[in-house]
Amino acid sequence: MIYLKLFWEFFNTGLFAVGGGMATLPFLYDIADRTAWFSRQQLADMIAVSESTPGPIGINMATYSGYLTAGIPGSIIATLGLITPSIIVILLIAAFLNAFHDNKFVNGAFYGLRPASCAMITAAGFVVAHVTFINDNIHALSSWERIEWPALGLAVFLIVCTNFVKPTKKLHPVFWIFLAAIVGIVFKF
Amino acid sequence: MKKLFDLFITFAKMGAVTFGGGYAMLPILQREIVENKKWGTEEELADYYAIGQCTPGIIAVNVATFIGRKTAGNLGGVVATLGVVFPSVVIITLLAGVIEYYSSLEWVKHAFAGIRVCVCVLIFNAVLKLFKKSIIDIKTMAIYLIILACSFMFNISPVVFVIAAGFAGIILKVWAK
């Protein structure tokens, strides 16, 4: 029964997540909130593992969350659930490729879908940022002291390195993930 | 049959050496599919990416389905897709077990706290890239801000946002001229 539910949840995600792997993130948060399968904290770790292992991020996250939910069969079922709508939709589109290209209603729908997808990923990003930069455990502290300053410093450093510094801009995300892990261990984040 | 097997192996190999998702796969696809196997052209790849970007699902999966279908029909589409996800399923399943086991150790916790910072930055960068491509005028900016505000204020399923934004796009683009 859990397998059927798992397949259904990821089928839904695959059907409605438009714009690649990260676009599945809002749906995974939704699943985390509605079920006890995995936590928001675990999702953040999952993204890191998915980014630093081979394979498409969306698939890795589905496999990972499926595994946390129901072991190895879960990982296979979640992944199959995620890719099934893609396969159906693409096979249909491939059959009608030219008609699809110039349809004004389809173009209009995507005109609205793209910013919506971007907004939902932004919101999901804020959730990860909250877990990362705000210390919720110690309620006695003032809001100023609840901010994780070392983490925020590292984030600013990484944003600068990955966007503005020419020689480091092109480096692979795995490099930054490893660097961040080492900084975390050394400074006891 | 031989063609299907070839599709599966080729896409499994690409899945195993791609880090970071659909975009990172493009150079590998160019080399394997266009130059080595000649299953498609550069232009076709670009089209598949554009469509994959705005259709549901993972981009790498969408592209694999397209190329597989073109090479060996509908079954080819399914086989290529299964090939591209196969290494992920194996690798992540192995890793997930190990990580769950070690995640109670102190230093592993510190490492993941550091990694989470990096993940925030990676998401930030992904959003930035997407933002530049998808927010192209005032109307798309309005959709962006409304959906962002709604996802903070209400606990609604993302499915609702997707359907609403699709209709909003049609209304703004087709009828509001």
- Please tell me the distance from the alpha carbon of residue A136 to that of residue B174, in angstroms, as a whole number: 47
- Phi, psi for residue B31 in degrees, rounded to 5: -75, -50
Over residues B157-171, the mean pLDDT reads 88
3-state DSSP call for residue B115? helix
Over residues B140-159, the mean pLDDT reads 89
Q: Report how many domains make up chain A.
A: 1
- Please tell me the distance from the alpha carbon of residue B137 to that of residue A92, in angstroms, as a whole number: 31
Task: Read off the pLDDT band of B172 (50, 70, 90).
Answer: very high
pLDDT averaged over chain B?
A: 86
pLDDT for position A166: 82
A62 is in which domain, residue-wise? 2-102
Angle between helices A40-51 and B59-102 (to 10 degrees): 120
Instruction: Identify the CA nearest to B22 among candidates B41, B6, B54.
Output: B54
Instruction: Identify the CA nearest to A54 among candidates B18, B12, B86.
Output: B18
pLDDT for position B169: 92
Q: Which residues of B touch A131 (CB under 8 A)?
A: 116
> What are A62-119's pLDDT values in tens digits?
999 999 999 999 999 999 999 999 999 999 988 886 666 678 888 888 888 888 888 8
Given an 8 Å threshold on Cβ–Cβ distance, is B54 in contact with A113?
A: yes
For residue A81, being part of any structural domain is answered with yes
For residue A185, being part of any structural domain is answered with no
User: Contact, A118 vs B130, CB < 8 A?
Assistant: yes
- Please tell me the distance from the alpha carbon of residue B40 to that of residue B62, in angstroms, as a whole number: 15
Q: Which residues of B touch A185 (CB under 8 A)?
A: 107, 110-111, 114
Q: A with B: how many residue pairs have Cβ under 8 Å apart? A: 362
Task: Read off the pLDDT band of B23 (50, 70, 90).
Answer: low
Question: Looking at chain B, which residue has its C-alpha nearest residue A30?
Answer: B157
> What are B105-119's pLDDT values in tens digits?
888 888 888 888 888
